[in-house]
Structure 1
Amino acid sequence: MNKLQITELNGQRVLTTQQIAEGYGTDSASITKNFNNNKSRFCEGKHFFLLKGADLKDFKSNIQNLDTVGKFANQLYLWTEKGALLHAKSLGTDEAWDMYDILVDTYFKVQEEKQLPQTPEQQIALLAQGNVNLNKKVEQIENSVLDLTDRFGLPSNKAKILQKKVASKVYMFTGGKYSNAHKKLGAKVFREFYKDLNNRFDVVKYSDIPLSRYDEATEYLDMWQPSFNTTLEIHGLNSQTSFDFEA
C-alpha cells in the first residue's frame, strides 16, 4: 500500500472505501458487498459516516480531499477506526488483520495523540477545566445533601429548640404556667400556635420544617401572637383572677 493519504471529517480521522480495500488486499466492490451483507452490524456515526448533498459538497470543497472522492460521486462512505475493525473481522484474512494493526498503531493513534494537550498553555487549560468540573461536582453533591437533609426535616435538637420556644411564648401570653388563663386556654393557645406555624411552612408537623428554613422558623416564633379573640379571652380570665383576689 502506498503512503496513506490522511482523510479527516470534523477533526476525526477516517478512511474511504478505496483506502480500506487497498490496505486489506481486496477491491472496493468487495468492501461494499461486505457492508451490504452485514448492515445490521454497522452503526452510522460510530462505524461510518455517509456524506450526501450539501455535506458531500462541503467535503469536496476542501483541497485536501480532492483525490479522495470522484468528481461526479453523489455519496461517499467514510469509515472510522471501529468501522475498519468490522471490515477486518468480516474479511478475516491475515492481510486485513495485519493492515488493521498498522492503522491502529499509526494512522489512528496519531489522531489520538494529536488531541492530547501539547503546549504548557493547553495543559494548564486542561487542568483548569478539570478543577471547574470538580467544583461543579462538589456543588452538585452539596445540593443533593441539602435536598436530602430538607426532606428529613429538622434534627431532633433543632426541633427541641423550637418546641421550647413555643412553650415559652405560650406561657408568656397566658400569663404564666399557673395562671388561670393558661389552665383554661393553654391547650387552645398551643394548638393555635402550632397550627399557624405548620401552615406558614406548609408542613404536617413542625419537625418537618426544612433545615434550610430553621432560622426563618425561629424568627416567625419570635413574632407570633395569638389571635385577637384568644387574646381577649386571656385578658378576661386573668383580669377575673385579679378581681377575685382583690375581693
Structure 2
Amino acid sequence: MEELMDNELINTSAIETIDSREVAEMVGIQHKDLLKKVRNYEGILAGAKLRPLDFFIPSEYQDAQGKPRDCYLLTKKGCEMVANKLTGEKGVIFTAKYVNRFAEMEQKIKLPKTDREILFLSVKVQEETAQRVDVLEEKVSDLEKSTTIDSSQQHTLEKVAKTTAIRTLGGIDSRAYQLMSRKIFSNIWRDYKNYFKLGSYRDTLKTDYENAKNYLESWSPEVNTSLKIKEYNSQLAMNLDYNN
C-alpha cells in the first residue's frame, strides 16, 4: 500500500507499522481519541522540523458502510511516543504488546544473513518470477486464441478467395465465370466455414490466419462442379472455333 503525503510517496508495505485502530484497542481508548493525540503529536513534530512520517503515516480504511475513514499507521517510533505518554500499568502493558507485535512482524520478514540463505532466497524469487511469467504468457496465449482477424486480414482473405475462384473458373473472361462465379464464391465460403467451424469468415481466429490463406489458395470444387466448368468453357471454345 502506498500513501502520498507531504509530496512524498511512502511505500507502507515496506515499513513495519501497526494500524491506529489496533493501537487504540491495545491502549484501551476510543480510536477517535487516539487520532486527536496523533494529530497533536504531528503538529509538535512538524514545528520542531522533525519528520512526522517517521512516526505516524496517514492512511484510511473503509467502515462497515464502505465509507472512507481516517487512520494512521504507527511505526515503532510512533508506538514508543504513544507509550511514553502513558503512565503506570497501562503504559507497561501497551509497551509489551507493541514490542511483541513488531517482533512478530520482524520474524515474518526476517532477512537472509548467510550466503546459503541468500542463495536460497534468490532461487525462490527466480522461481516465483518464472511462475508469474508463465501465468502471463498463458493469459496472452489465451487472448490470442480468442482474438479474430482484423479488417486488413479479412480483406486479404477475400482477395485470395477471388483469385482462387477466377483461376478455378478459367479466367475472368471465361463462360464458366460468367455463369458460375456466384456459385463458386458461395461454395468456397461454405466449405471454408465448414472446415474452420465458423459462422462467418470474419470470425476467423488470428492463430488460424495463415492456415486460412493456405486453405483458400488450395481450394478446389467438387467433381460435378469441375465438370460443369469444363463443359461451359468447352462450349465457348467450340463457339469461337465455329465463328472463325
* 2:153 equivalent to 1:158: yes
User: Any stretches of 5+ residues in structure 2 without a counterpart?
Assistant: 1-88
Q: In structure 1, how many angstroms separate the alpha carbons of the residues matched to 2:102 and 2:136?
A: 40
* 2:174 equivalent to 1:142: no
Q: In structure 1, how many angstroms separate the alpha carbons of the residues matched to 2:155 and 2:166?
A: 17
* 2:183 equivalent to 1:188: yes
Counterpart for residue 112 of structure 1: 108
TM-score (normalizing by structure 1):
0.55
Q: In structure 1, how many angstroms separate the alpha carbons of the residues matched to 2:116 and 2:236?
A: 84
* 2:98 equivalent to 1:101: yes
Q: Give the superposed CA RMSD.
A: 2.3
**Structure 1 residue identity aligned to 2:107:** Q
Over the matched positions of the two proteins, sequence identity in percent amounts to 25
* 2:208 equivalent to 1:213: yes
- 1:223 counterpart (214, 218, 223): 218
Superposed CA offset, 1:13-37 (max 9, x none): xxxxxxxxxxxxxxxxxxxxxxxxx
**Structure 2 residue identity aligned to 1:132:** E
Note closer, same or farther for the CA distance 1:149–1:105 as it changes in structure 2 (3 Å cut): closer
**Structure 2 residue identity aligned to 1:111:** Q
**Structure 1 residue identity aligned to 2:154:** A
Counterpart for residue 176 of structure 1: 171
Note closer, same or farther for the CA distance 1:141–1:111 as it changes in structure 2 (3 Å cut): closer
Superposed CA offset, 1:173-193 (max 9, x none): 100112110111011101100
Superposed CA offset, 1:140-162 (max 9, x none): 33333343344341122222222
**Structure 2 residue identity aligned to 1:213:** D
**Structure 2 residue identity aligned to 1:112:** K
Matches within 5 A, 1:14-93: 93=90
**Residue 95 (structure 1) shift:** 4.1
- 2:162 counterpart (155, 167, 181): 167
Q: In structure 2, how many angstroms separate the alpha carbons of the residues matched to 1:240 and 1:145?
A: 56
Q: In structure 1, how many angstroms separate the alpha carbons of the residues matched to 2:228 and 2:200?
A: 26
Q: In structure 1, how many angstroms separate the alpha carbons of the residues matched to 2:112 and 2:213?
A: 54
Question: Is the partner of 2:132 in helix, strand or coil?
Answer: helix
Q: In structure 2, how many angstroms separate the alpha carbons of the residues matched to 1:112 and 1:137?
A: 23
Note closer, same or farther for the CA distance 1:178–1:139 as it changes in structure 2 (3 Å cut): farther
* 2:241 equivalent to 1:246: yes
Q: In structure 2, how many angstroms separate the alpha carbons of the residues matched to 1:148 and 1:180?
A: 46
Q: In structure 2, how many angstroms separate the alpha carbons of the residues matched to 1:183 and 1:144?
A: 49
**Residue 204 (structure 1) shift:** 1.3
